[in-house]
Every structure is written in C-alpha cells, then in structure tokens.
Homo-oligomer: A and B are copies of this chain.
Amino acid sequence: MIECAMDKMLFEDYKKTCIQWVNAGIAQILDNQAIQQTDLLASIRYTALGAGKRIRAIFVHAACSLNQGDPNKALPAACAVELLHAYSLIHDDLPSMDNDDWRRGKPSCHKAFGEALAILTGDALQALSMQVLINSSQPHDVKLYQLKTLIEASGCQGMVAGQVMDIMQHQASAKNELQYLEKQNHAKTGALICAALSLGAYASNANQLIQKQLEQYGRAIGLAFQIQDDILDVAEKTDNMDKSHHSDYRQNKLTYVSVLGLSGARKKLSETFQKAEDTLSIFGPNARMIRQLTRYILERKY
C-alpha cells in the first residue's frame, strides 16, 4: 500500500516530465518547420501546444521505459503521435462532426480560427506528423516502421474509419450496438494507443512477446479509456469536463452508457481495467509507471 502511494507520487513527477518532454519536442519541431503562414502557425501552435493530457506520448515513453530503452529514441514518434491526435481532435470537433465548441478548456480550433482554417490546420498536422518522422535522424527502416504503424492507426483502417463509424452510427442495428461500438472505439481511439505503445516498445528493441502483450494491453486500455469518457460525459459536471458540454450525450449518440446503462458501463469499465492490469503482470516491477498511468486513466475526472 505504501509502495502504491509512493508509485502514485512518482507517477505525478513522471507524468510532468513526460509532458515537458513531448511539449519541448513539438515546440522544437514547429520552430524548425519555418511555417510562413502566420495564421496557420498560430492555429497549429494553439492546438498542438495546448493543455493536452499527452496520454499517448506518455504511453510511448512508458512502453519504451518498460524494456529499459532510451525514451529519447522514441521522441520523434511521441511527437508524431500527439500531432496526429491533435489533427483528429480538430476535425472531430467541426460543426459537421461533433460540433464541439470547447476543447482542452478553451474554444475549439474552429471557434478560435474559423472553420476553413481549422480544417486546414488538421490537414497540416497530419502532414506534419509524417514529416517529423521522415526528417528525423533515424535509420531508414526505423522511420518506415514508424510511418507504417502510424498510418495504419490513423487512416482508412484506424482513426478515420472509427470517425466514419461514429458519424454513421445509425447503421448499427439494435442487435449489434455493443459490437459496433467496440469496433468503432478500437479504430477511433484504441488503434492510436496501440500504435503509441508499439512505437515506444520498438524504440527499446522489445521482442515479439513484449509487443504482443502490449498490443493486448493497448486494446484493453483503449476500450477502458472510451468507456470512462462516456461515463464522464454523463456523470460529471460540465465544470470538470475537458471536452465539451455533455456533447455526446446531448446528441443522443451511441455510447457505452446509452447501450449498457450507467451501472452496466461502470461494470464493463471495471472488468476492462482489470484486464488491462492483468496484461501488465508479466512485466513485474518494470511496469510500475505504466500501471500508474492505467490507474490515472481510470481515475481521471475529465
């Protein structure tokens, strides 16, 4: 118990260090990019250097540390993951999608810069995430592995597919709502988390067994993350919300809460969280920080 409390304190420092680490990396990328359009640069800085939780970057760092790797080898990948995530948030928030006016405690990109520039900022961030890897000083095969991993998690088999499922939820039949939701959420959220873990582990020269175990963990924590999001969306007060004013709930979207009810969703969260914790057991004490990260995700209030 004492060890657990200590780990929690250590994790607070660890989290801060990771956030500074990836923010510094992204700031340097933007400085080096020579983006001449001042409006574009402003909107990119606004969204890519905002107050994000940087959970995906922490996953990269933690997965690398798990196998005693040097996390700095994974910094380009961590930055690329967060840039991709930022792009997806901008496009998801657009009026024709989730129509969210708030993001990370401030007006969403299209509210701050207009819809046209917001779309283009998302486009630019997708390109930039690839450019970070292409221009990094890593071996060719490493770059191509990273690019392949990220494109698969973000394109037609990943995030984009998940968001298409999100806007097409009316196609889910009453019988397969839960199945639909799980597929949607893995594509929309889980795939990028799995990619973050895979890229972190790859930077530590992790073997196939570690990669496979982290893939399982990523699937479980990606699911837990989304269930928690859905629960927070209805159970917490707007003040505590990072994202919006109960936007998903308001729009009568298919969520774990709408399908399973609040208590059903909480039960599923608890089971999924346990599954995620169990997959970490083979790593022993090396997994202390990633275990705390798992709890942090479960306990977050926004």
Please give the residue numbers on chain A whose beta carbons come within 8 Å of chain B beta carbons, in ascending order.
33-37, 39-40, 44, 91, 94, 96-97, 114-117, 119-120, 122-124, 126-128, 130-131, 134-135, 140-141, 143-144, 147-148, 151-152, 154-157, 160-161, 163-165, 167-168
Contacts and interface: CB of A to CB of B under 8 A. Distances in A.
A94 B123 contact: no
Contacts of A134: 144, 147-148, 151
17 contacts: A37-B156, A44-B156, A94-B116, A96-B115, A120-B163, A123-B123, A126-B126, A126-B127, A127-B155, A127-B160, A128-B155, A130-B130, A130-B147, A131-B148, A131-B151, A135-B148, A140-B140
Contact of A119 (B91, B114, B161, B165): B91
A160 B91 contact: no
- How many copies the complex holds: the figure is 2
**10 shortest A-B CB distances, which residue pairs?**
A127-B155, A96-B115, A140-B140, A96-B116, A124-B160, A35-B156, A37-B164, A40-B164, A116-B167, A131-B151
A295 to B, nearest CB: 33
Contact of A116 (B97, B123, B126): B97
Contacts of A141: 140
